[in-house]
A and B are shown apart, each in its own frame.
Chain A
Amino acid sequence: MNPRIRLIGTIVILLLLVIGVNIAAHGSFLEPSNIVRVLRQITYNCILGVGETFTILTAGIDLSIGSLVSLTGVVMALLANSLHLTGFALVAVVLFAGIALGAGAGYVNALPVVRLNLPPFITTLAMMQVALGLSYIISHGRPVPLTSNAFNSIGIGTFLGGLSAKLHLPALPIPVLWMAAVVIICALLLEKTRFGRSILALGGNEEAARLAGIAVRRVKTMAYVISGICAAIAGFLYMALFATGSPQTGTGDEMLNAIAAVVVGGTSLAGGRGTIVGTFFGALLIGLLDNAMNLLNIDSYLQKVVLGAVILLAVALDEIRKRYLAAR
């Protein structure tokens, strides 16, 4: 099944939902300011989901991303506070260090997977505990407020505010641009490069890929490294948003929500099939649902029940459509 066709299901559900909710919410749902709010809210989940997509495409999984958000956030905050740099230089150094840490953690995740054939579920579960523990140890369990305000514009700034004001449109938050950049770069990486083709091939049939001369271990390792990098970027944006590196970020549902976005976006947990754009729409669907339920004043506990049901429904519909197409 072509992943692009699978994606259509998600988009159709999305449209129906949007129209229905907009009517119920007397038009407030489709207001530009609300749309921008949703985009800002899904930024972190989407970036984490994009990274997760790579590991899931290899028929693996990365459970450690939530903890890595916490660890990279704390480390970057401590580093920012200890460096005698200002402005862009500080941001660049801190971001680079955070990405290196995320990439390193991803590499460590992958090492036992490719060398010892351990299941990624186990190695990343271990990393999830280790990274969160380290995050609490180095922060002494307390949030680390940033002393510099160099990060403010990244966390809460907007893009081309003047232009949007003239057009009577809400300005795009900077994190949304980060999300767009991650989605576009990763989508091109997956669809248009040798690395992406190799990921899809080894997820679809690892033995065939190996016999075709693809460096299976290296490609798999890169999937976990990318996942770690995406976690670091999410950690960086969280830190910039709250002007704090907090160990408590990443202890919640981040990882599960990211996996939900991937799966709702049409990527197969069995590997080999899926798209980055699909993950974006998966995150968008979940984000719109959250937002809609808030607008409609749905009880927050009930929201969780609905969200779970929607995840199941989206994947089940996809499966049914797949069977229907296969039977023809």
Chain B
Amino acid sequence: MRSIGKSFPGVRALADVSISVRSGEVLALVGENGAGKSTLMKILSGAQPADTGEIFIDGERVHIASPRDAERLGIGMIYQEFTLVPQFDAVANILLGKEPQRGFFLDDGEAHKRAAALVAEFGIDIPLTRPVGELSVGIQQLVEIAKALAKNVRVLVMDEPTAALSEREIDRLFEIVATLKGKGVGIVYISHRMEELARVADRVTVLRDGATIATRAISEFPIDDILQAMVGRPVDARFPELPALAADAPVRLSVEGLNAAAVRNVAFSVRSGEIVGLGGLVGAGRTEILRAIAGADRATGTVAIDGAPLRARTPNDAIEAGLAFVTEDRKAQGLVLGMNVLANTTLAHLDRFARVLGWLDSDAEERATEAMVERLRIRTPNTAQLVSNLSGGTQQKVVLAKWLLGEPRVLLLDEPTRGIDVAAKAEIYELMVGLARQGVAIVMVSSELPELLGMSHRIHVVRNGSIVATFDRADATPTNVIAAASGAAA
């Protein structure tokens, strides 16, 4: 892929990206969230068109206008979210869309033969006849790979393939990767796990802000240099100064013995005016910790705000106790896209505007929303604008407005700047600092290391649902946070 460029309204996702992968090679593609990896791969798979640039396969220039084109050209994708039909067995999933037929009817015997031959060829050990929904995530991942291989791939893209796998399953995955290399398949391997690169990659390409920064053989590219290339700038330059924490600042939020699905015995506290970062890999349980605190999921343990334990554990109780939870996925959990700015802003605090018989005082709603629009500099023509028409950064500000309307004492932020442009990010950082100054206790989950390091007084690293390491601002470095997150010795 040469000189690929792609812009979205308001965002330049890719400026000038070139990557190449050779036959029988694993190219690791690394970069921070938002660096452009996913966009690049969507272009390669035909899910989105490129604005500029060219793609060559085996020296031949190709046009990829649709996923069908990509498939025809031998480009296979394995996404983070599986594309399997859970009720079907592995055979049916592997041959989906190209089922062998005898006359008008499906030829089950032939299908089974073909699937079995395929998995044997690549040494993939999976049960062929059980519904894949009953299999573990790791096995499903292998089914997904077999499905891609059934299309005679020449280039296979694997997006964070190990995110949900156990150590043993990862070993098996890497064996299969080795087999594929032996058969001449070129593999693009996307991962956040630095410690994997040395094991699996031949070369590494670093993307940053939609551009290729460096491509080098893994043997000449120490992990520290890769991190440096990914981050690019002195780590804390683009973050505002955090307010100093008063020595006697009282504890605002305290969490003890918190247990939930994917959360194990978590305890920590946050003082008034403090920003605590939760670091760790995707799937480590950080989001689940926030959800458990906010009453979004069933949980046991004690959560106290200003010393008063929350009693019943529902979102409503948490809101009434002064807690606000800005969720990770604003479209799925934060916003009602079909409603306007006003309705989204007041949604969590409707009782404040409700009069007799639940009648909403629309003038009061309008005033409160306009005040928020001004305070957060929400770029919208008016409060009646549907939020689906706003940019990502503006949408995120609407979510923040919804929660700040309640003047929360504790603010939980899950990936507060994911997918939004640099200017909006800076505004959100400023806002966090301002809230901390006012004494709000903030817990932030972030997968962006610079953000985590630059915006936290203290960092807890989460792995397998537990806090495994704690660093003060002065001690936290990219290397020791990543080491703790991935379980490697620092």
Contacts and interface: CB of A to CB of B under 8 A. Distances in A.
Interface string B326-363: 01000011111111000100011011011001111010
Given A211-B315, A212-B347, A213-B315, A200 B360 contact: no
Contacts of A195: 358
Interface string A194-237: 11011011001101111111110000000000000000000000
A201 B347 CA distance: 8
A205 B348 contact: no
Judged by DSSP, the binding face of A is: helix
Nearest to B319: A213
Contact of A212 (B315, B338, B386): B315
Given A2-B386, A194-B351, A214-B347, A200 B339 contact: yes
B296 interface: yes
Chain B's interface size range is 20 to 34
Contacts of A272: 336, 338-339
A149 interface: no
Contact of B332 (A201, A207, A214, A273): A207
A212 B360 contact: no
B350 A208 contact: no
Nearest to B318: A213
Contacts of A117: none
A82 interface: no
B294 interface: yes
A273 B333 contact: no
A192 interface: yes
B432 to A, nearest CB: 20
B347 A209 contact: yes
Contacts of A297: none
Which of A197, A198, A215, A272 has most B Cβ within 10 Å? A197
A204 B360 contact: no
B347 A194 contact: no
B402 interface: yes
Given A192-B360, A194-B358, A208 B343 contact: no
A200 B343 contact: yes
Contact of A207 (B333, B339, B360): B333
B359 A212 contact: no
B316 interface: yes
Nearest to A207: B333
B358 A204 contact: no
A211 B338 contact: no
Contacts of B325: 211
Given A194-B358, A198-B350, A208 B334 contact: yes
Interface string B190-225: 000000000000000000000000000000000000
A273 B338 contact: yes
A119 to B, nearest CB: 17
Interface string A273-291: 1000000000000000000
B332 A204 contact: no
Interface string A1-28: 1100000000000000000000000000
Given A194-B354, A197-B350, A201-B339, A208 B315 contact: no
Interface in B359-386: 359-360, 362, 386
Contact of B335 (A194, A208, A273): A208
A214 B314 CA distance: 10
A194 B349 CA distance: 10
A26 to B, nearest CB: 45
Interface in A1-59: 1-2
A141 to B, nearest CB: 42
A211 B386 CA distance: 20
Nearest to A189: B358
Interface string B306-324: 0000000011101110000
A216 B336 CA distance: 14
A213 B343 contact: no
B336 A205 contact: yes
Given A200-B339, A201-B347, A208 B359 contact: no
Contact of B336 (A194, A208, A215): A208
Contacts of B320: 213
A274 B480 CA distance: 53
A204 B315 contact: no
B386 A200 contact: no
Contacts of B333: 205, 207-208, 211
A143 to B, nearest CB: 39
B163 to A, nearest CB: 22
Contact of A204 (B318, B337, B357): B337
A212 B314 CA distance: 10
B338 A193 contact: no
A205 B337 contact: yes
B451 to A, nearest CB: 23
A108 B128 CA distance: 44
Given A208-B336, A209-B347, A193 B358 contact: yes
A181 to B, nearest CB: 16
Contacts of A197: 343, 347, 350, 360
Contacts of B327: 208, 211
A201 B346 CA distance: 11
A200 B336 contact: yes
B316 A215 contact: yes
A128 to B, nearest CB: 28
Contacts of A214: 316, 347, 350
A107 B29 CA distance: 55
Interface of B: 294, 296, 314-316, 318-320, 325, 327, 332-339, 343, 347-348, 350-351, 353-354, 357-360, 362, 386, 402
The 9 A-B pairs with the shortest beta carbon distances in the complex, nearest first, are: A213-B316, A204-B336, A212-B348, A194-B358, A193-B358, A213-B319, A194-B354, A204-B338, A205-B336
23 contacts: A192-B359, A193-B359, A194-B351, A194-B353, A197-B343, A197-B350, A201-B339, A201-B343, A204-B336, A207-B333, A208-B327, A209-B347, A210-B296, A210-B315, A211-B315, A211-B325, A212-B319, A212-B348, A213-B314, A213-B315, A213-B316, A213-B319, A272-B338
Interface of A: 1-2, 192-195, 197-198, 200-201, 204-205, 207-215, 272-273
Given A200-B339, A201-B336, A211-B294, 14 more contacts: A2-B386, A192-B359, A194-B353, A194-B360, A197-B347, A197-B350, A201-B347, A205-B337, A208-B347, A211-B334, A212-B347, A213-B318, A272-B338, A272-B339
